Amino acid sequence: MDYKIIVDSCGELTDEMKESGVYSSASLSMQVDGVTIPDDETFCQADFLKRLAASPECPKSSCPSPEKYMELYCCDAKRVYAVTLSSELSGSYNSAELGKKLYEEEHGDKEIYVFNSRSASVGETLIGMKIRECEEKGMAFREVVAAVESYIQEQHTYFVLENLDTLRKNGRLTGIKSFVASALNIKPVLGSTPQGTICQLGQARGISRALAKMTDYIAKEAENTEEKVLAIAHCNCLERAKEVEQSLLRSIKVKASFIVETAGISTMYANDGGVIVVI
């Protein structure tokens, strides 16, 4: 194959992507109460959620090493693209760039490009799909890079969390805010910034109202949706994800849409009941 696409494991690969032979996953790992859990095909979401709920400590994650990325670059493909978590949220991007330098030192020049998704989860998935689309059109390496970087700038990520525990444990909510939010059943509506950080767009009382507010934001803000793919990731709440999808499809027209279950890293942050939408 002339090209290869590497997506770090925060990006969920669809079954078709896994079977295509085009994609490889660079696995991160999670640590809960001293136990290391790889974010690969052995990941069990149900067991992981139980561990999260029972642990008083903040779960941690580790990104793939530069050496691991270098190994993935050592393939027969002439062109290699890597897609990573936002560099503002993880060290995966820097690790992938260091892996590129290691490869060049040991093996010489090769067309390798690392995309900072400025997103996570299905945001990475969509970027991986865009790369393949450009390659299948016969675009040159630099043309692919330019087209995909432009696509990333236009991409938007939104999410609503049922469970605030991970945010609280990570220090993103003070104890008081967490208590008040929990006591009043307040759910934040969150989104990504152009720099790849997380911002709060609003809030609502109850998960249903928060999801409705999120879909309203998307319907109002999304542009040129007829040319875009709508992607939704859910953490143990498929019916909720389907309702969000149907609500959005009643408001906007899209090229296509799909739903996936969160993998390990996305599960750690979304927690039980979280829904992530990217368009």
Q: What percent of the chain has pLDDT over 70?
A: 94
Single out the residue in 103, 130, 154 at which a domain terminates: 154
Residues 170 and 256 in one domain: yes
Residues 121 and 173 in one domain: no
Compute the distance between CA of residue 27 and CA of residue 34 in angstroms, rounded to an integer.
18
Place of tokens 């767009």: 201
CA of 265: how far to CAs of 13, 29, 143, 259, in Å?
13, 8, 31, 17
Q: At 219, is the pLDDT very low, low, confident or very high (cuts 50, 70, 90)?
A: very high
Rounded to the nearest integer, the mean pLDDT of the chain is 93
Q: What is the full DSSP assignment across the chain?
A: --EEEEEETTSPPPHHHHHHSSEEEE--EEEETTEEEESSTT--HHHHHHHHHH--SPPEEEPPPHHHHHHHH-SS-SEEEEEES-TTT-SHHHHHHHHHHHHHHHH---EEEEEE-SS-THHHHHHHHHHHHHHHTT--HHHHHHHHHHHHHH--EEEE-S--HHHHHTTSS-HHHHHHHHHTTEEEEEEE-TTS-EEEEEEEESHHHHHHHHHHHHHHH--SGGGSEEEEEESS-HHHHHHHHHHHHHH---SEEEEEE--HHHHHHH-TT-EEEE-
100, part of any domain: yes
72, part of any domain: yes
Query: What is the mean predicted confidence (pLDDT) over 119-128?
Result: 98
Query: What is the mean predicted confidence (pLDDT) over 243-264?
Result: 98
| The pLDDT of residue 57 is above 60 | yes
Cα 141–Cα 147–Cα 152 angle in degrees, nearest 5: 125
Domain count, the chain: 2
40, part of any domain: no
pLDDT of residue 167: 63
Q: 117 Cβ partners below 8 Å, 6+ apart?
A: 11, 83, 84, 85, 86, 123, 124, 127, 152, 196
Single out the residue in 120, 154, 188 at which a domain terminates: 154
Determine which of 75-89, 176-190, 255-269 has the lowest per-residue pLDDT on average: 176-190
Residues 146 and 252 in one domain: no
pLDDT of residue 58: 86
pLDDT of residue 218: 96
Query: What is the mean predicted confidence (pLDDT) over 19-43?
Result: 97
Determine which of 50-54, 68-72, 129-133 has the lowest per-residue pLDDT on average: 50-54
Compute the distance between CA of residue 122 and CA of residue 228 in angstroms, rounded to an integer.
13
| The pLDDT of residue 109 is above 70 | yes
Residues 229 and 136 in one domain: no
Single out the residue in 154, 170, 202 at which a domain terminates: 154
Compute the distance between CA of residue 241 and CA of residue 120 in angstroms, rounded to an integer.
17
Measured in residues, the chain has a length of: 279
Residues 90 and 115 in one domain: yes
CB 235 within 8 A of CB 124: no
Span 141-199, pLDDT tens digits? 999 999 999 999 999 999 998 876 776 666 555 544 555 556 678 888 989 999 998 88
Q: What is the CATH number of the domain that holds 171?
A: 3.30.1180.10
Phi and psi at 181, nearest 5°, equal -60, -40
What count of Cα atoms within 13 Å lies in the side-chain half-sphere of residue 90?
32
Q: Which domain holds residue 21?
A: 3-28+63-154
**CA-based R_g, the chain, Å:** 19
Residues 19 and 127 in one domain: yes
Residues 202 and 132 in one domain: no
Structure token pair of residue 223: 């542009």
Place of tokens 């590497």: 6
Residues 214 and 112 in one domain: no
| The pLDDT of residue 38 is above 70 | yes
